[in-house]
Amino acid sequence: MKTATATLAYSPTRQPRPRLAGWYSAAWGIALMVALPVLAVFYLALFPDENIWAHLASTVLPVYVITTLELIIGVALLSILAGVGSAWLVTMYSFPGKRLFEWALLLPFAVPAYVIAYVYTDLLEFAGPVQGALRALFGWQSARDYWFPEIRSLGGAILMLSLVLYPYIYLLTRAAFLEQSVSLRDASRLLGCNAWQSFYRVSLPIARPAIAVGVSLVAMETINDFGTVDYFAVKSLTAGIYDTWLNMANLGGAAQIASLMLVFVVMLITLERMARAQQRHFHSADRFSTLEPSRLQGAGALAASVFCLLPVLCGFIVPFALLSWYASSYLDQLWSEDFLSYASHSFTLSLSAAVLSIALAVVLAYAKRLYSERRALLFAVRFSSLGYAMPGAVLALGVIIPLAAFDNAVDDFMRRTFDMSTGLLLSGTTFAIIFAYVVRFLAVSNGAVDSSLSKVTPSMDMASRSLGQSASGTLLKVHLPLIRGGLMTALLVVFVDCMKELPATLILRPFNYDTLATFVYQFASDEMLERSALAALLIVLVGVLPVILLSRSITASRRQSEA
Amino acid sequence: MKSSRTLLAAATLTLASTASIAQAANEVNIYSYRQAFLIQPLLEEFSKETGIQVNLVTAGKGLLERLEHEGRNSPADILLTAEVGPLYDATEKGLLSAVESDALNAGIPQHYRDPEGRWFGLTARSRIIYASKDRVQEGEIKTYEDLADPKWKGRICTRSGKHTYNLSLIASVIAHHDEAYAEQWLEGLKANLARKPQGNDRSQVKAVKEGVCDLALGNSYYFGKMLTNEDQPEQKEWAQSVNLVFPNQDDRGAHMNISGAGVTQYAPNRENAIKLIEFLADKKAQTIYADVNSEFPVRPGTPNSALIEEYMGNFKADEIDLNKLGPLRAVASRLVDKVGFDN
């Protein structure tokens, strides 16, 4: 593969050169494969049982749309506040508990949204300990004697989702703040900015792509959440999708709502991209001057500690404590050998899906880099991230349709040709679940890998290629080592996401097959959280470990680059 | 490139090899909308008696579509559901096959099974009114229709009108009156609500206990589940604060729904599937199956559990053909939207 001609990696190529065509077609192949389920849902949308729009528009559609917008905006704002605020504090200042908060702020990420919703309902409803204590304290008798905020409400849903989703924003923003060259900030201070101005006018704009990716992930997670909104009786579009599908027996109509939601998501993301199209920052990943966090004193230090403590307390410590308490009181009834099998199912599925989706994301991101001028490819790569914005059960149907069609086609062929039946090869196997995970979470790995790779300056490619390395060699010897941190981050985030995934897992699983999440669902859906506490706790614990590793690797990456 | 290809190939191979494809000879495969812990004991009993291995997938939704798209190669023999809705939808899509079984026809009353034998009810439950012992006189509320009476203004609690239990009740009101009446009735009921519909059936009874409302709509079996709840003893108090009202005893009877099962169109183990449904409809299993969830056995002459005997002994059940209610659920769902019941 050695040649002396330097192919400028970022230059427009009219025809893919034969030796690079591999990357080009691999990226297309992956993008198409991952797009299949989304396309299947579009296909479903072509055959509604009846037109639902007249009915929806004249009745509940406005409520659905407004509620969904309120939900997304609420969760986005609250997550930005918690995520960006705490990321800025732990990066720029030192205050009591800072070292701890650096990684603890990621912990709520390990708690599934449906679990946190159950936990807080148990705590805050009338019969729960909080209101019980208040009644005992003030001598109130019934619910008519006093006012207490209703957890089962839009506000409650916003709070619950923000608590478990802000870590996305924290994670990406903190990485972005850490990567920023200190000299930029120093320059801004020398030019007369105070700390706030320097943050607002220099650091924040540079971190904006990362924040934007974080917010879009949070928004998509919010859009496809059903567990929480269903439990709190919040009338979002997703509730409308399930209502149309299950209660009105109109799957096509439901697919239409889901497809429209996707269009909406695409518009949002496109708008955001256009807004920052003019900004590009490269930095050659070396030579940072050491970041000296400024030491906070007195009230400032206390405020910073409290600000960072709140999300950790509400998003992790409280649910973890309650689950532990439930689990310990039922331990003898709960523990069985089966748990090891659920845990190992969860673990192997999630790990396979995580590794696979990172590998695919690398191929996509690198092909994008090599063929940055090819609009169609860029579009295909973006399209392949859409599975993330689809409600899980709908996506599961989108997975079933192409897999079952493939199975049945193979079976037909084998019957006709060899008079033997192959039955279902892929449907109802763990392959279907892993495929669904990859489709669903490719947005996450794509975002992380792509943003890491885009920070590597093109001069690296030029240097490597002019020294005779092939495209693949450049990726393996130059890029991958440089973006190791980003890859690790993506891997761990997708892993934890898969551990928590519920709706698609339920529908696609093989016979007699449980994961921790499906086991939790079995009892939680029947209002017996205490019986599923142990499994929920295991999801959290298995999720916590990668989260801690994640945080350490990010901190380490900073130290290495300082060395 | 090469190494990423290898990685992909390796990953795919590992996955394919871990895929478990059921291929034993003597077995039966179930797609169940009913939670595993409710049926597991009975399925184990069946395996013990017959030597037939039972394989199970449970989910809250989507299994119907899985069955449909898997087509003739689907491994599923039985669709087991927690209510009649999905059974009706499955027959509409032609996913269930007619079963001719003397044991089932003799053991299950006509109004609890499909006339063509495509599905069979196995347990029954009623949607009843839970009335506060303190604030509602005996005989003060007698019918579903009464719930729309303005005298109950601000005194009724219910879960979302979109929930399948409520849709099934609204569908039965449509069936016994007509759509226009049902719409008016629903508006009247909405005007009487003490709070926005929320939570589940149990939390409505809890709200009665807490004084938020005086009447609540709920499925009958939740009473048993609350009264015997050792995990959360406070639920016993909720149950003890209410009287059970089985509505419309002087006319059509209380609205009923069933959990049931049907044999799929392409069942690879059809014989075993029929055996299992017959087992579940048989005397012994009927007692256990109903008791697990505090439901009523469908088989006439099956002794009720002590709890049911004490609190729900003899009541008149609405015997309308459940297939009639099937297509009316969508109508009910649109009515709920129209009157803004959940807003």
The CATH number that applies at residue B291 is: 3.40.190.10
Q: Which residues are paired to B233 by β-bridges?
A: none
B188 falls in which pLDDT band (50, 70, 90)?
A: very high
Contact A39, A392 (CB under 8 A): no
Burial category of B227 from C-beta neighbours within 10 Å (exposed 0-12, middle 13-18, buried 19 and up): middle
Helix/strand/coil percent split, chain A, to 5: 75, 0, 25
- What are the backbone angles phi and psi of residue A12, rounded to the nearest 5°? -65, 130
pLDDT at A3: 39
Statement: residue B11 has pLDDT above 80: no
Residue A372 covered by a domain: yes
The residues, ordered by sequence, that sit 6+ positions from B326 with a Cβ below 8 Å of its Cβ are B84, B85, B88, B89, B92
pLDDT at A454: 81
A282 falls in which pLDDT band (50, 70, 90)?
A: low
Statement: residue B5 has pLDDT above 60: no
Cβ neighbours of A503 in B, within 8 Å = 62
Residue A508 to residue B123: CA distance in whole angstroms: 27
- What are the backbone angles phi and psi of residue B249, rounded to the nearest 5°? -70, -20
Statement: residue B222 has pLDDT above 90: yes
Q: How many residues does chain A have?
A: 563
Residue A545 covered by a domain: no
| Contact between A233 and B20 using a beta-carbon 8 Å cutoff | no
Q: Is B88 annotated as a binding residue?
A: no
What are the counts of helices (DSSP H) followed by strands (DSSP E) for chain A?
27, 2
Asked if B53 is an interface residue toward chain A (Cβ–Cβ < 8 A), one would say no
Residue B2 covered by a domain: no
Residue A503 to residue A395: CA distance in whole angstroms: 9
Asked if B57 is an interface residue toward chain A (Cβ–Cβ < 8 A), one would say yes
pLDDT at A518: 92
Q: Work out the average pLDDT over A37-44.
A: 95
Residue B343 covered by a domain: no
Q: Work out the average pLDDT over A300-304.
A: 92
Asked if B284 is an interface residue toward chain A (Cβ–Cβ < 8 A), one would say no
pLDDT at B20: 38
Taking the CA of residue A506 and the nearest CA in chain B, the distance in Å comes to 5
Taking the CA of residue A424 and the nearest CA in chain B, the distance in Å comes to 6
A535 falls in which pLDDT band (50, 70, 90)?
A: confident
A130 falls in which pLDDT band (50, 70, 90)?
A: confident
- Higher-scoring residue by pLDDT: A532, B53: B53
- Higher-scoring residue by pLDDT: B314, B63: B63
Statement: residue A87 has pLDDT above 90: yes
Contact B280, B122 (CB under 8 A): yes
Residue A250 covered by a domain: no
Q: Work out the average pLDDT over B20-48.
A: 84
Please indicate, yes or no, whether residues B191 and B328 belong to a single structural domain of this protein: yes
Which CATH number covers residue A53? 1.10.3720.10
| Contact between B73 and A523 using a beta-carbon 8 Å cutoff | no
A276 falls in which pLDDT band (50, 70, 90)?
A: low
Taking the CA of residue A400 and the nearest CA in chain B, the distance in Å comes to 6
pLDDT at A557: 64
Asked if B24 is an interface residue toward chain A (Cβ–Cβ < 8 A), one would say no
Cβ neighbours of A56 in B, within 8 Å = 337
Please indicate, yes or no, whether residues B93 and B175 belong to a single structural domain of this protein: no
Burial category of A144 from C-beta neighbours within 10 Å (exposed 0-12, middle 13-18, buried 19 and up): exposed
| Contact between A428 and B70 using a beta-carbon 8 Å cutoff | yes
Please indicate, yes or no, whether residues B150 and B97 belong to a single structural domain of this protein: no
| Contact between B65 and A23 using a beta-carbon 8 Å cutoff | no
The residues, ordered by sequence, that sit 6+ positions from A557 with a Cβ below 8 Å of its Cβ are A178, A485
Q: What is the largest CA-CA distance in chain A?
A: 86
Statement: residue A139 has pLDDT above 60: yes
| Contact between B11 and A144 using a beta-carbon 8 Å cutoff | no
- Higher-scoring residue by pLDDT: B4, A357: A357
pLDDT at B177: 97
Taking the CA of residue B243 and the nearest CA in chain A, the distance in Å comes to 20
A145, closest residue in chain B (CA to CA): B211
Domain housing A467: 31-60+330-525
Statement: residue B190 has pLDDT above 80: yes
Q: Work out the average pLDDT over A259-282.
A: 75
- Selecting from A400, A526, A527 the residue whose C-beta is nearest the C-beta of B65 gives A400
Dig out the tokens for B169 from the structure. Answer: 């009740």
pLDDT at B13: 43
Residue A425 to residue A405: CA distance in whole angstroms: 11
Cβ neighbours of B196 in A, within 8 Å = 233
A505, closest residue in chain B (CA to CA): B59
Please indicate, yes or no, whether residues B186 and B264 belong to a single structural domain of this protein: no
Contact A403, A427 (CB under 8 A): yes
Statement: residue A444 has pLDDT above 80: yes
Residue A291 covered by a domain: no
Mean pLDDT estimate for chain A: 85
Please indicate, yes or no, whether residues B334 and B220 belong to a single structural domain of this protein: yes
Tell me the per-residue pLDDT of A465-507, one tens digit each, with 9 for 90 and over: 888 888 888 888 888 888 887 888 889 889 999 999 999 999 9
- Selecting from A143, A232, A429 the residue whose C-beta is nearest the C-beta of B210 gives A143
Residue A500 covered by a domain: yes
Residue B195 covered by a domain: yes
Instruction: Report DSSP state, residue B150.
Output: G
- Higher-scoring residue by pLDDT: A74, A129: A74
- What are the backbone angles phi and psi of residue B218, rounded to the nearest 5°? -165, 160
Q: Is B27 helix (H, G, I), strand (E, B) or coil?
A: strand
Residue A478 covered by a domain: yes
pLDDT at A188: 79
Residue A549 covered by a domain: no
Residue A451 covered by a domain: yes
Q: Is B311 annotated as a binding residue?
A: no
Residue B174's nearest CA partner among B327, B319, B321, B328 is B328
| Contact between A522 and B37 using a beta-carbon 8 Å cutoff | yes
* Residue for token pair 């191979």: B13
Please indicate, yes or no, whether residues B31 and B175 belong to a single structural domain of this protein: no
User: Exposure pattern of B256-278 as b/e (b: 16+ CB <10 Å)?
Assistant: bbbbbbbbbbbbbbbebbbbbbb
Residue B239 covered by a domain: yes
| Contact between A233 and B342 using a beta-carbon 8 Å cutoff | yes
The residues, ordered by sequence, that sit 6+ positions from A308 with a Cβ below 8 Å of its Cβ are A86, A89, A90, A97, A98, A101, A104, A105
Asked if B58 is an interface residue toward chain A (Cβ–Cβ < 8 A), one would say yes
pLDDT at A277: 65
pLDDT at B157: 96
Residue B209 covered by a domain: yes
Residue A121 to residue B337: CA distance in whole angstroms: 27
Taking the CA of residue A144 and the nearest CA in chain B, the distance in Å comes to 7
Contact A28, A389 (CB under 8 A): no
Cβ neighbours of B340 in A, within 8 Å = 59-60
Amino acid identity of residue B93, one-letter, is K
Helix/strand/coil percent split, chain B, to 5: 45, 15, 35
| Contact between A411 and B73 using a beta-carbon 8 Å cutoff | yes
Please indicate, yes or no, whether residues B150 and B24 belong to a single structural domain of this protein: no
% of chain A with per-residue pLDDT over 90? 42
**Domains held by chain A: number:** 1
A560 falls in which pLDDT band (50, 70, 90)?
A: low
% of chain B with per-residue pLDDT over 90? 78
Instruction: Report DSSP state, residue A285.
Output: S
- Selecting from A233, A397, A522 the residue whose C-beta is nearest the C-beta of B197 gives A233
Instruction: Report DSSP state, residue A296.
Output: P
Residue B109 to residue B113: CA distance in whole angstroms: 7
**Domains held by chain B: number:** 2
pLDDT at A558: 60
Residue B310 covered by a domain: no
Cβ neighbours of B338 in A, within 8 Å = 59
Please indicate, yes or no, whether residues B164 and B93 belong to a single structural domain of this protein: no
- Least confident among A44-58, A162-176, B8-22, B134-148: B8-22
Domain housing B214: 125-254+315-338
Dig out the tokens for A265 from the structure. Answer: 């998501």
